[in-house]
Amino acid sequence: MPLAHPLRDAKVTVLRTVLLAACGLGLAGCDSLDAINPFASEKYKTEIVPDVPADKLYSQGLAKIEDRDFEAATKKFGDLDKQYAYSDWSRKAVLMTAYANYEGGRYEDAITASKRYLQRHPGSKDAAYAQYLLAMSHYKQIPDVTRDQDRSEKALVALQELAQKYPTSEYAVDAKAKIQITRDQLAGKEMEIGRYYLERRNFPAAINRFRDVVSKYQTTRHAEEALERLAEAYMALGIAGEAQTAAAVLGHNFPDSPWYKDAYGLLQNGGLQPREERSSWISKAFRGIIGDTRTAEAQ
């Protein structure tokens, strides 16, 4: 009988052990080793969770919106987007996610979803609505005039983009109305700061703020006061020509304004009369703008 080779026998033993262990994990062809496999009686079954049909997920999301459970609705639409990515169902899901977040007051999430929709589907028939949700999510967050107006600036940009890109959409009229409101808000902030400087006799700083109102927001309700305040500030600095121009432009465009009466009285007290200098920045800022606006409204 040949002598056993210790290294060879050791390799055989290791190989046998590995095979037995593999069979114990349920590999095919190892039924004969069931007796030494403590898990032989347990058969592994792959559990496949079927996808919920897209239309059902969509309907479930709509039902959650009807129940005003907007958080649950966004989850349903999120599942729809994931399970049916790059399909038309995904497109609908992203838009409805934006809507559900907007209705639920989660405006930042609505902004994110709206932007995602517009990036993926810029030419979609619902792109105007996505832009409207984006703009309104900013608009709903506009703070009072005493606070920072960054949100107002973002709302204005989004609303202007809506009116310019989708002028024939059903949202364009509302966008234009809210543009005016937002511009009035921004002008109001400038007026508040301008008055602050005026009261502290920092006339150059005050003029800069009132100048912004006259240059950028001529069609807002703050334009009349801004012109009168300019007359005040320029008179205080001894710059009579600009004070006279401010009063003259105010009287020409808003003859019945109480602010014009104040400006007129201010000039009279200084021995002056309203007189427009056409070379003044005030005259240039207003030239044709108010008239063109009135003509357009009349038409």
- Categorize the per-residue pLDDT at 295 as very low, low, confident or very high, splitting at 50, 70 and 90: very low
Amino acid at residue number 279: S
Query: pLDDT tens digits for 231-243?
Result: 999 999 999 999 9
Other Cβ atoms closer than 10 A to 39: 11
Query: pLDDT tens digits for 106-120?
Result: 999 999 999 999 999
Mean pLDDT of 283-297: 56
Give dist(CA 240, CA 263) in Å, integer. 12
- Categorize the per-residue pLDDT at 7 as very low, low, confident or very high, splitting at 50, 70 and 90: very low
Q: Is 247 helix (H, G, I), strand (E, B) or coil?
A: helix
pLDDT of residue 294: 35
Instruction: For domain 55-175, give the CATH number.
Output: 1.25.40.10
Of the ranges 17-21, 37-41, 149-153, 271-275, which one carries the lowest mean pLDDT score?
Answer: 17-21
Q: What is the CA 223 to chain-centroid distance, rounded? A: 28
pLDDT surpasses 90 at 14: no
Global confidence as pTM:
0.77
Q: For domain 186-286, give the CATH superfamily.
A: Tetratricopeptide repeat domain (1.25.40.10)
- Categorize the per-residue pLDDT at 286 as very low, low, confident or very high, splitting at 50, 70 and 90: confident
- Categorize the per-residue pLDDT at 266 as very low, low, confident or very high, splitting at 50, 70 and 90: very high
Query: pLDDT tens digits for 179-221?
Result: 999 999 999 999 999 999 999 999 999 999 999 999 999 999 9
Tokens of 37: 């496999």
Residues of the chain with CATH 1.25.40.10: 55-175, 186-286
